[in-house]
A and B are shown apart, each in its own frame.
Chain A
């Protein structure tokens, strides 16, 4: 109850707490600009990644760009401070951590590797008026929401799958062998379903030499994919097209070896897993010949060489190629944010957003022309490469201009590997 003293009404502690909570909630809901953000000083970039949970391997791999980026960005004349946050591979946590990063003073958010988590962070950023620069997330619907603060430096599923079809045909033409039946085996998360949708939309007009069998979906958290692989084997598929994460890619190939399922090839239109460091470590010789068609880093540029040198210095026990894609995408997103800050000359959100819309970044790590964004905040200037695991490292095999080696198709049987 409230106390009355000489005509004044005093609030109880409970009333004060309830009122404060209400004010904070209302401020959040109404999209009040973040408090305590000054427009001078270094750009505070909140890097939101799945550092633990089911996507931790990929998230930790992306996070290496933070350690490397600190010195690389400084060397390029950018002034940034990085704040780290973990989505725990969970959409609700991603939303909460994006909110916290902004409350902690982040001027820009970079992330979040997974489409579902990126979508959650995008809602917060739009509400708070803070730019979100996406490192990796392919679900097409992310750029169809009409967000004004969303900038994606990564292809959509439609682009990934659309770019993969002609390159697959090039692999078949180069090797003179083509499958007649293919099966799509995919995780049923946001990215997996987006890729499935892209397949269904683009395949009928792609004039591929193979027919598509009934796809098989699975839970990306599954510990056992023996049934899925047995079904795929029983289907008689000659080509296995997959959309995987890290752990499930290992499970699939291990089961394929055990069950002696030997299709002509395993190909992924842009998903992670087949080129990850862990894939090579666990599977050894069985990791070879798996193929991913995706945007890749340009190993010949001075920036990539500098990043590689930093990587070797900071992570001497690890193999750079196993992390290059995740680092490249994340570092490019950091560069986009830092470049916008440099051009805007302020950390104020409206100026940063304006600078991001007019981005034309020539110096970046991934193959492709200068990074620019269209009216929806999408970089449309991506090209893909065919990256095949050869000698237990990701190797560019197509297009010919960038190829280190020739593609191998069909892949040798499991028992015929040294």
Chain B
């Protein structure tokens, strides 16, 4: 095998992994603050993908641009969901939350199936078949743009939580819910904003990923599972961990395809997951306890 094959595979894994990382970041943010495991995460992502497909088909809007209105739409949906429904389940047993979110997931995926049918759809952007050739390496344009978008959104999200008043308040809620309430923060309102932000992020990830893959409603469960693997590897609740986990999964799967066997590449993700759970249960960048 040539060096360019390995280099190309490695770069492809990094680029795809960054988008996976962004998707997982939405899950991580929600869990880190609201302490709610969003089992409808992949379904929300597929919702974002279909929104991008519809906007591309109807008005020719590039998913890189449609990511903005889709993020706004999913923010509103996520905010409304948390405010109207999920906040009532915050103090209930975990299994009730799981069942509720699984129910929402089923409604979303079956709704998409009813509206769009089972056929794969694509955004068909003009550069969909193009690539950059750097030395002997082929870099798929859609992957490069999607990864660039993922990095920008991740940086914006980091800046929001680090510097904005709302972001700092949300972090306060995450650190000490009771303390935050005592100093007068609207904890449930901040939960709703957080769920909205998590949903918006996963919607953007869906738009970006729609550049790279063909969209089908049935993808949802796979992406929920993938996001869980990534956040567990990277560290539940850690934004940087999600991005790192995404890149690790993307690269390890891609390299396993070359070194072992393409049909067994997913085995590596699960292997990595088990290894992290054994050696560092809190995840690579997660906090202990």
Contacts and interface: CB of A to CB of B under 8 A. Distances in A.
A234 B120 contact: no
A188 B266 CA distance: 14
A52 B118 contact: yes
A154 to B, nearest CB: 23
Contacts of B113: 52
A20 B12 CA distance: 57
Contacts, number: 96
Contacts of B214: 223, 247, 250-251, 282
A226 B2 CA distance: 16
20 contacts: A59-B118, A218-B263, A219-B262, A219-B263, A219-B266, A223-B213, A223-B219, A223-B222, A224-B213, A227-B254, A227-B257, A228-B257, A231-B1, A251-B214, A257-B129, A258-B131, A260-B138, A282-B122, A282-B214, A286-B129
Interface in A229-262: 230-231, 234, 246-247, 250-251, 254, 257-260
B99 interface: no
B218 interface: yes
Given A60-B117, A188-B263, A258-B138, 9 more contacts: A54-B218, A56-B216, A60-B119, A216-B262, A217-B263, A221-B222, A224-B213, A226-B12, A259-B131
Interface in B126-158: 128-131, 138, 140-141
B124 interface: yes
A271 interface: no
Contacts of B213: 223-224
Q: In the complex, which of the residues A51, A222, A246 has the most CB atoms of chain B within 10 Å of its own CB atom?
A: A222
B8 A230 contact: yes
Contact size class for A? 35 or more
A233 to B, nearest CB: 8
Contacts of B218: 52-54, 56
Nearest to B213: A223
In terms of DSSP, what is the predominant structure of the interface of chain A?
Answer: helix
B130 A258 contact: yes
Contacts of A219: 262-263, 266
A395 interface: no
Nearest to B12: A226
Which 7 A-B pairs rank lowest in CB-CB distance, beginning with the nearest?
A: A56-B118, A227-B257, A217-B263, A257-B129, A228-B262, A234-B5, A223-B213
A240 to B, nearest CB: 15
A357 to B, nearest CB: 36
A222 B269 CA distance: 14
Contacts of A221: 222
B8 to A, nearest CB: 6
Given A216-B262, A250-B214, A258-B131, A57 B138 contact: no
Interface in B1-25: 1-2, 5, 8-9, 12, 16
A228 B260 CA distance: 12
A259 B219 CA distance: 25
Contacts of B128: 254
B91 interface: no
